[in-house]
Amino acid sequence: MEIDKSQILDFLRSKGQDEKAQQAEQELPDSVDTDQHSDLLAKFGVNPQDLLGGLGGLGGKLGG
């Protein structure tokens, strides 16, 4: 799955992890493939499911 780098940076900043966000901004590509870049995401403590949790919850409500 593709995630825009800005979503990851916003997520890290919302958790008060500005230093990790700065590092991620330099190391991550603009479009992050969660499978291909899973090692980088793990390095920054980002679980793709955390980023998509709100979308999954909303989708479940709309579909149900």
Q: What is the pTM of this model?
A: 0.78
Domain of residue 49 covers: 2-63
pLDDT at 59 over 80: no
pLDDT at 51 over 90: no
40 contact partners, CB below 8 Å, separation of at least 6: 24, 27, 28, 32
Task: Give 41 or 56, the one with higher predicted confidence.
Answer: 41
Q: How many CB atoms lie within 10 A of CB 63?
A: 6
For residue 43, give the DSSP letter.
H
Task: Give the pLDDT confidence score for residue 39 in this predicted structure.
Answer: 94
- At 8-47, the pLDDT tens digits run 999 999 999 999 999 999 999 999 999 999 999 999 999 9
User: What domain count does the chain have?
Assistant: 1
Residue in the structure block whose two tokens are 């500005």: 18
